[in-house]
């Protein structure tokens, strides 16, 4: 598959069906999904990528992409741009998920910065965001390196109706 983005250590490309095995272990792992409502089954993971990758590529020209270690060729996670609901309405959001063996090496920041720059320079988007739960400190550290500022908003969770705080990290094209 053709590479969309290259960084010093990573390649980002469209996700292929075969990648769902590698990516599925992330979404099925309790440690990787500790800041989500829960883990995902293979079927739920497939549905997730159908919406946020395969359908999004066709509909918007972007979506979640496979993060590939350039030296080994191994799929180590996903990162990309999806439309997510914010207080301003649907906005392009940079999201990232890596297998835990690759945490703490700057890969998420490297991939997310590449996505931010791609959003501005290749897609012509004026603004991108990242939405992070207050308890997700590792993701906050990534978002702080990628974005220019942070706002706090309250969101009602659909499944429970409970209101929770979310951090909205924002970058605007200069």
Domain ranges of the chain: 3-126
Q: Give residue-wise pLDDT tens across range 151-162.
A: 999 998 877 888
Tokens representing 132 are 């992070």
Q: Is 154 exposed, middle or buried (0-12, 13-18, 19+ CB in 10 A)?
A: exposed
Second CATH level (architecture) for the domain 3-126:
3-Layer(aba) Sandwich (3.40)
Buried b (16+ CB within 10 A) or exposed e, 114-136: bbbebbbeeeebeebbbbbeeee
Closest CA to 92 of 171, 7, 5, 13: 171
Average of per-residue pLDDT values in the chain:
95
CA distances from 9 to 88, 122, 138 (A): 34, 20, 20
| Whole-structure pTM value | 0.94
């Amino acid at each position: 598959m053709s590479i969309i983005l290259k960084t010093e250590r990573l390649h980002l490309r469209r996700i292929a069906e075969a990648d769902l095995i590698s990516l599925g272990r992330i979404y099925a792992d309790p440690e990787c999904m500790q800041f989500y409502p829960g883990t995902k089954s293979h079927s739920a993971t497939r549905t997730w990528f159908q919406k946020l990758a395969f359908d999004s590529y066709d509909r918007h020209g972007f979506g979640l992409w496979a993060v590939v270690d350039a030296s080994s060729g191994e799929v180590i996670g996903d990162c990309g741009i999806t439309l997510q609901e914010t207080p301003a309405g649907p906005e392009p959001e940079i999201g990232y998920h890596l297998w835990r063996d690759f945490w703490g090496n700057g890969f998420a920041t490297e991939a997310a910065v590449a996505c931010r720059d791609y959003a501005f320079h290749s897609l012509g988007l004026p603004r991108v965001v990242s939405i992070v739960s207050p308890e997700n400190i590792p993701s906050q550290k990534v978002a702080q390196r990628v974005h220019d500022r942070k706002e706090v908003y309250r969101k009602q969770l659909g499944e429970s109706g409970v209101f929770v705080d979310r951090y909205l990290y924002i970058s605007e094209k200069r």
